[in-house]
Amino acid sequence: MAANTISLSISSNVAASKNLSSFQSRAFIAPPTISFPAKSKPGELSLSSTTLSKSRVRAGASQLMNEPLNDQRSTSSPTIVEVDLGDRSYPIYIGAGLLDHSELLQRHVHGKRVLVVTNDRVAPLYLDKTIDALTRGNPNVTVESVILPDGEKYKDMDTLMRVFDKAIESRLDRRCTFVALGGGVIGDMCGYAAASYLRGVNFIQIPTTVMAQVDSSVGGKTGINHRLGKNLIGAFYQPQCVLVDTDTLNTLPDREMASGLAEVIKYGLIRDAEFFEWQEKNIEALLARDPAALAFAIKRSCENKADVVSQDEKESGLRATLNLGHTFGHAIETGFGYGEWLHGEAVAAGTVMAVDMSYRLGWIDESIVKRVNKILERAKLPTTPPESMTVSMFKSIMAVDKKVADGLLRLILLKGPLGNCVFTGDYDREALDATLRAFSKS
């Protein structure tokens, strides 16, 4: 291997390939290597999926995905994906009915006091079950809860203070555990509260949306929005574990189901071309909530996310590539109004814009542009921003994006064959302007 190339492999369970034919899927393959090729320009990080090697197995006590993907029999054994961060490593448990297995949660509870943070949509569905899982056979644990209003527009400092109010009023100490029960908004806010309360207490993620299960619950990004920009206030703070009970998706509205698939599609585009090809064949199965298809997509997404986080926890470069379409998407969310579009809807339109810009730069083939548009349309996601978005709105909001460095807006763009991308500020500004003009009013 050349000295200027670094090859990395994921920590994961290896899925059996024997009976994947019902989903037209191939056997599990390792995620791509991360390359810094000699031809890359200074300051440009290149992510490549051109070299695939057998992945290392880091299994927990049990492995659901050692069974064939199309075997839908009930099982009490979760898939376990490890996020490797040394002494702060933690497991992601994935499976159906995991909230019925109290030992999975209780082994990660520190101390005798727990605060469950949830919202008014999720609480009636899963709060009692979660409290039971935390306390069953364990009378020494007491659980408090705080129920927040649902929606991105409440991801702010005023709502966050309600979590602190409850914790302080309940006299929770440093041995307590916060539990995030809900989607990405709840996970981000609970995590940030845990990072800040008494300068840091333990917390657990129980994501209940596709978006949270495949992306936001993994990796320790926590925070709140500011009126001038999304996620500008926050901290990196890792959970003790992530428990993905796929049964919670049974109550997820169709619109939120589709929104979460935007993040699933992202992984295929930036680093896992074979996963993208599988998605093209199975997007309708995912929308139909086929249990085996969802289990595979969630697992594969978590493996990709865990691999990246293990290598670049605090987004010094590599992890930024997970934000394909997010710079444009966050501008849509901020400019159009938090909560008007779901996060995945904004990311989908933003992904189309990033792909369009990549094509204008001559970095990708037109066939990739067509494939991206087609799969997002099939996923029932928007491929253009709201009509109210203007070029000036995009530019002013993107100017305060977290990926701006020394006044330079850095973007995640596709470059090369499918499954390759770059994180760079070295691009022709005219290409960006042309994309903005093509998708929004002057």
Query: Does the annotation mark 415 as catalytic?
Result: no
**Side chain identity at 221, as an amino acid letter?**
K
Sign of the four-CA dihedral 193, 198, 200, 202: negative
Whether residue 56 lies in the annotated active site: no
Do the Cβ atoms of 348 and 381 come closer than 8 Å? yes
| Nearest-angstrom CA–CA distance, 17 and 11 | 18
Q: Which of 221, 230, 410, 415 is catalytic?
A: 221
Catalytic residue (one of 266, 319, 371, 410): 319
Per annotation, catalytic residue among 266, 271, 326, 360: 326
Residue 349: DSSP 8-state: H
Strand 421-424 to strand 411-414: parallel, antiparallel, or no bridges (unpaired)? antiparallel
Query: Tokens 């057998």 map to which residue?
Result: 54
Backbone φ/ψ region at 325: left (φ over 0), alpha (ψ -120 to 50), beta: left
- The encoded tokens of residue 152 equal 């991105």
Is position 119 annotated as part of the catalytic site?
A: no
Active site residue 166: no
319 is a catalytic site residue = yes
Per annotation, catalytic residue among 343, 360, 371, 403: 343
**Among the listed residues 87, 394, 109, the one whose alpha carbon sits nearest the alpha carbon of residue 229:** 394
Q: Does 108 participate in catalysis according to the annotation?
A: no
From 330, 360, 371, 403, the catalytic residue: 330
DSSP code string of 224-275: EEETTEEEEEEEE---S-EEEEGGGGGGS-HHHHHHHHHHHHHHHHHT-HHH
- SS3 of residue 151 by DSSP: coil
Environment class of residue 48 by beta-carbon count within 10 Å: exposed (0-12), middle (13-18) or buried (19+)? buried
With CA atoms as reference, report the closest residue to 413 among 424, 405, 402.
424
**101 a catalytic residue:** no
Angle made by CA atoms 187, 308, 48, in degrees to the nearest 5: 140
Active site residue: 323, 345, 410, 415, which one?
A: 323
> Does the active-site annotation cover 271?
no
333 is catalytic: no
Q: What is the dihedral of CA 315, 319, 320, 326, to 10 degrees?
A: -120
Strand, coil or helix: what is 180?
strand
Among 299, 300, 305, 410, the active-site one is 305
Active site residue 315: yes
Residues that are catalytic: 199, 221, 263, 305, 315, 319, 323, 326, 330, 343
